[in-house]
Amino acid sequence: MSNNYASFLTHPVFKVASQIITEKNLEAYVIGGYVRDLLLERPSKDIDIVVIGNGLDLAKECAERLRVKKVSFFHNFGTAQFKYKDLDVEFVGARKESYRQDSRKPLIENGTLIDDQNRRDFTINAMGLSLHASNFGELIDPFNGVEDLSKGILRTPLDPNTTYSDDPLRMMRAVRFAAQLDFKIEGESLQAIYDNAARLDIISVERIMDECNKIILCAEPSRGFKLLFSTKLLHQFFPEMVDLHGVETIDGKTHKDNFFHTLEVLDNVAKESDNLWLRWAAILHDIAKPPTKKLDREIGWTFHGHEELGARMTPKIFKRLKLPLDHKMKYVEKLVRLHLRPIALVKGSVSDSAIRRLLSEADDDIEDLMTLCNADITSKNEFKVKKYKKNFEMVMEKLKAVEEKDRIRNFQAPVSGELIMQTYNLAPCAEIGSIKARIKEAILEGEIPNEPANAIALMLKIGEELGLKVVKEPTLNK
Ligand code: ATP
Ligand code: MG
C-alpha cells in the first residue's frame, strides 16, 4: 500500500496551508479524525491541522489567503478555528501534555509531532499527513494505526491505563468509536477501561452525554451499550438503566432481562428512525420496571404502572444527565407514558372511543408512538412475534380508519371559547373551559360526531342544564 495520500488532499485548505508552511519552512500535518475517515472512506466534516510552532499564526494566514473573514482564536488553548464552505478547520500548535490526578486538564508545553501524536487517544486517531511540499501527503504513522484500522482495533498509543486515567473521557470515546465503526477495543485497553471506570467522575456530565448520544445515534446502538455495561462505565452515570439488567426466578416463574430487551427495542427503533429523542424513548420505555416489579402467584411477574412511573422518572433523569428539559423531554415523557396503549387496544373488542382517546393524547406523535410500540415487540418465540405483529397491523388499520372518519389528531375544539362567551354574554371564566371539555369528551366517547353543528347543539343543551341564558344565537361560521 502506498504511503502517500497527496491525491486525496485536494481541498483548497490543504493547498493554501501547504504553500504557507513551505514558504516559511515550517512543519504541519493534517491529523486525527480527518485522516482516519479518509482512510476509511468515510465523509468528514472537520479538519485538524497540527503545526510545529504557532497554530494561531498559520490559521490567520490561511484564512487571509482563503478570504475567510471570521476566525475564532482560543489563546488559552493555542488553537484557532474557522469555517470554510461546509468544513470546520482547526489549527493547533503541536503539544506535549502531562496530567495531574484530579483533573482532565493537562499541563501543556510546546512539543514535536511525536509528542502530539503520543497525546492522542487511539492509534487510528494519531496518524498525520504531511503538508510540506517536500513530502506532501506522506503518512506519518508511528503506532501503526493503518494496521489497526484494517483489523478494526482500538488501541491507545501509550499505556492504556495511563491514557484512560489521564483523561477518562477517552473511555467513553473508545466505546463510541467501537460502536460507530464496529471496531473491537483491544484486550488490555478493555481491562484498563474496566479498572478506571470510576474515574469518569471527574468528567462533566455534558461531555459524557455528548458521547453517549453519539452512541445512541449509531446504526446499532446496543453494541455501545453492551460495552458501557460490561466495562461498568454505564454504572457511573446511568444506574437506572443498569438496574434493568438481570432475571429473577421464583417458583419456576422467570421474567425477561429488561436490559437486553431495552437494547433490542432501541436497535429496532434505530432501524426505523434517526430521531435521537425517539431513541431515548426506547431507552426509557421500561425504565420503571425494576421499581414496579412484583410476583403475582397466579399470573407471574407484573410491572403494573411502569409506564406512568417511567414517565415521571423521565424529567428527573433528563435533569441529572443535563439533557434538554424542553419539548424534547416532554415528547419522551409522553411516549414512555403511552407506550403500552396501542397494543392494549388489541385486547378484547376495541372501541372507537379508546382509539379516539389515544389519537387525541398522542397527537402529532402518533407515528413515533407506533414505531416505538412496534419495536417493543420482541420475543424469542417467533410464533408470538408473528401474532403480535399481526395484532399491531390491526391497530394501525383501526387508527387510520378512525382518524379519517373523526379527525381527532390535533384536536381543534369545534366550538370556540369565544362563541360560548358571545352566546351567553360571559366574561372569561372556568365555566367556558368546562363546557369545552364536555364537548370534547362527547366527541371522544362517540356520543356526537366531530362536527360544528352537533357541537353547537350540545353546547346549547349544556348551557340549558347550567341555567345559562342565550343572548346571541350561535351561528355555524363563528
Ligand atoms: P469525530 O469528529 O467523528 O467525533 P474525531 O476523532 O475527529 O471524531 P474530535 O473530537 O474531532 O474526534 O477530535 C479530533 C482528534 O483529536 C481525534 O482524532 C484525536 O486525535 C484527538 N482527540 C480528541 N479528543 C481526545 C481526547 N480526549 N484524548 C486524546 N485525543 C483526543
Ligand atoms: Mg473530528
pLDDT averaged over every residue in the chain: 93
Could you tell me the strand order of the sheet in which 79-84 lies?
Answer: 71-74, 79-84, 87-93, 46-51, 28-31, 128-130, 139-140
Q: What's residue 224's pLDDT?
A: 98
Is the full-model pTM beyond 0.85?
yes
Average pLDDT score over residue span 346-359: 81
Average pLDDT score over residue span 446-455: 91
Would 258 be classed as within a structural domain?
A: no
* 76 vs 61: CA distance, rounded Å: 20
In the listed set 150, 166, 188, which residue is the last one of a domain according to the structure? 150
Number of folded domains that form the chain: 3
Would 290 be classed as within a structural domain?
A: no
Does residue 116 line the site of ligand 1, with CB under 6 A?
Answer: no
Q: Do 114 and 86 sit in the same domain of this protein?
A: yes
Average pLDDT score over residue span 325-342: 96
* 149 vs 39: CA distance, rounded Å: 8
Q: What's residue 390's pLDDT?
A: 86
**Higher pLDDT residue, 305 or 297?**
305
* 63 vs 81: CA distance, rounded Å: 9
Q: What is the pLDDT of residues 12-37, one digit of tens each?
A: 999 999 999 999 999 999 999 999 99
| 406: pLDDT strictly greater than 90 | no
Q: What's residue 412's pLDDT?
A: 80
Average pLDDT score over residue span 315-324: 98
Does residue 121 line the site of ligand 1, with CB under 6 A?
Answer: yes
Q: What's residue 23's pLDDT?
A: 96
Q: What's residue 347's pLDDT?
A: 66
β-pairing, 79-84 vs 184-185, is unpaired
| 5: pLDDT strictly greater than 90 | yes
Give the mutation target among 50, 121, 181, 199 for probing the ligand 1 site: most ligand atoms within 8 A of CB: 121
Q: What's residue 383's pLDDT?
A: 84
| 40: pLDDT strictly greater than 70 | yes
Query: 215-243 burial by CB neighbour count: b if 16+ within 10 A, else e?
Result: bbbbeebbbbbbbbbebbbbbbbbebbbb
Average pLDDT score over residue span 242-254: 91
| Band (299; pLDDT cuts 50, 70, 90) | confident
Does residue 124 line the site of ligand 1, with CB under 6 A?
Answer: no
Average pLDDT score over residue span 140-152: 97
Q: What is the pLDDT of residues 357-386, one digit of tens each?
A: 999 999 889 999 999 999 998 887 888 888
Per cent of the chain over pLDDT 90 is 77
Q: Do 11 and 140 sit in the same domain of this protein?
A: yes
Q: Do 49 and 117 sit in the same domain of this protein?
A: yes
β-pairing, 71-74 vs 46-51, is unpaired
Place of cell 509528542: 115
β-pairing, 28-31 vs 46-51, is antiparallel
Q: What's residue 391's pLDDT?
A: 84
| 177: pLDDT strictly greater than 60 | yes
Does residue 169 line the site of ligand 1, with CB under 6 A?
Answer: yes
Q: Do 16 and 98 sit in the same domain of this protein?
A: yes
Q: Do 198 and 225 sit in the same domain of this protein?
A: yes
| 304: pLDDT strictly greater than 80 | yes
Q: Do 89 and 199 sit in the same domain of this protein?
A: no
Q: Do 135 and 20 sit in the same domain of this protein?
A: yes
- CA 126 to ligand 1: nearest atom: 20
* 409 vs 324: CA distance, rounded Å: 26
Cβ atoms of residues 249 and 193 within 8 Å: no
Q: Do 34 and 82 sit in the same domain of this protein?
A: yes
Q: Do 59 and 138 sit in the same domain of this protein?
A: yes
Q: Do 89 and 109 sit in the same domain of this protein?
A: yes
Would 278 be classed as within a structural domain?
A: no
Average pLDDT score over residue span 310-325: 98
466 burial via Cβ count (<10 Å: 0-12, 13-18, 19+): exposed
User: For residue 443, how many C-alpha atoms fall within 13 Å in the half-sphere facing its CB?
Assistant: 31
* 377 vs 374: CA distance, rounded Å: 6
Q: What's residue 343's pLDDT?
A: 81
Residue closest to 459 by CA, chosen among 422, 429, 405, 408:
422
Average pLDDT score over residue span 35-52: 95
| 191: pLDDT strictly greater than 90 | yes
Displacement of CA 114 from its chain's centroid (Å): 35
Lowest mean pLDDT among 156-165, 270-279, 377-386, 428-437: 377-386
Would 388 be classed as within a structural domain?
A: no
* 127 vs 111: CA distance, rounded Å: 16
> Which residues is 4 bridged to in the sheet?
138
In the listed set 237, 269, 300, which residue is the last one of a domain according to the structure? 237
Q: Do 146 and 156 sit in the same domain of this protein?
A: no
| 478: pLDDT strictly greater than 60 | no
**32 CA → ligand 1 middle, Å:** 6
| 348: pLDDT strictly greater than 70 | no
Would 59 be classed as within a structural domain?
A: yes
E strand spans, 114-190: 128-130, 139-140, 153-154, 184-185
Q: Whose CA is nearest to atom 16 of ligand 1?
A: 32
Would 330 be classed as within a structural domain?
A: no
Q: What's residue 395's pLDDT?
A: 86
Per cent of the chain over pLDDT 70 is 99
Q: Do 121 and 52 sit in the same domain of this protein?
A: yes
Average pLDDT score over residue span 100-112: 84
Lowest mean pLDDT among 221-230, 328-337, 364-373, 374-383: 374-383
Average pLDDT score over residue span 328-337: 98
Q: What is the pLDDT of residues 192-219, one digit of tens each?
A: 999 999 999 999 999 999 999 999 999 9
Give the mutation target among 125, 149, 163, 213 for probing the ligand 1 site: most ligand atoms within 8 A of CB: 125
* 194 vs 232: CA distance, rounded Å: 6
Would 62 be classed as within a structural domain?
A: yes
Would 96 be classed as within a structural domain?
A: yes
CATH code (residue 136): 3.30.460.10
Structural domain harbouring 458: 417-465
Length of the chain: 478
In the listed set 130, 150, 170, which residue is the last one of a domain according to the structure? 150
| 424: pLDDT strictly greater than 50 | yes
Q: Whose CA is nearest to atom 24 of ligand 1?
A: 121
